[in-house]
Structure 1
Amino acid sequence: MIFVTLGTQDKSFSRLLEMIDQLVEQGLIQEKVVVQSGCTKYASKNMDILGFIPMDEFNSYIENCTYMITHGGVGTIMNGINHDKKVIAVARRVEYGEHENNHQVEIVKEFSEQAYILGCQQVDELKQAILQLPNFKVKPYISNNENFCNMLEKLIDS
């Protein structure tokens, strides 16, 4: 099963679902596709589309999926990485009315350059990302929070 999540942004991201629909029709995607669509209204015979779902159900889909296709939100990307899942992230873009600004472009770029995810700046890059999945290895994320907190604590104590 492939889990697609569009997050809870109050703007539509139907471009991504349209591309996934095309890739199912072309036979590139052959597994069941489950979508957490949030505010995006979309009908498809190729996908099980859910609006908003409880967090425990959301996490269950992540735990049971082969890989994730997600918007470029940090929380969702990290959730996938922390579950050792292959993550394809596609940035929502302001020019399509999908977000207030293009911060997801930078997020997807950075995570992709660090080899944590397969990143797509545009939906038409999704096909290539899916083709790269067999050779993509999940890289564990190592947080620097503990070091930062220790440095901050020393600074405060001095």
Structure 2
Amino acid sequence: MPKTEPDLLIDKYRKRFEAYLGRELNFPQWCRYKTEFLEAGLTLSDSSFKLFARFKRRCPRKTLDKPTLDILKSFQIQHRTKEAWLGSEVFDSIKNLNPHIGEWQLYRAFYRAGLSFKSSREYQKDQVFSVVFYALVYGDAANERKSRRV
């Protein structure tokens, strides 16, 4: 059975996304990613594909939701001119974005970004955005630190 025009368009989007992701997806994976992509409010554009592929490479088991994406975008817009941050400023900014995040989760966000935390250390803008990203994505994982002992 020949493919219809919408099917060809979907295949085109899938191939473009796979190119940014760096690997092929099977059909069920593509369906899950496509649903998550559209529910996050992303448009079918190259920049959105790059953003989503980067997210999936960094956090393959996490879901990108619209509120987290909106907070990240507004944070980046609000602080785009600030080039350097002290560790204490990063801590305070994340606490303002998500007051429920635990202190250990903030330290873990620095670790996931490949950094160690020191309140007097100066961090560059890209480093701060990575830390904020990990803090928001993993910050609400309440069960993440529970003991495995029964």
TM range (shorter): under 0.3
Which protein has the bigger strand share? 1
Which protein has the bigger helix share? 2
- TM-score, structure 2 as length reference: 0.27
The structure with the larger Rg is 2
- TM-score, structure 1 as length reference: 0.26
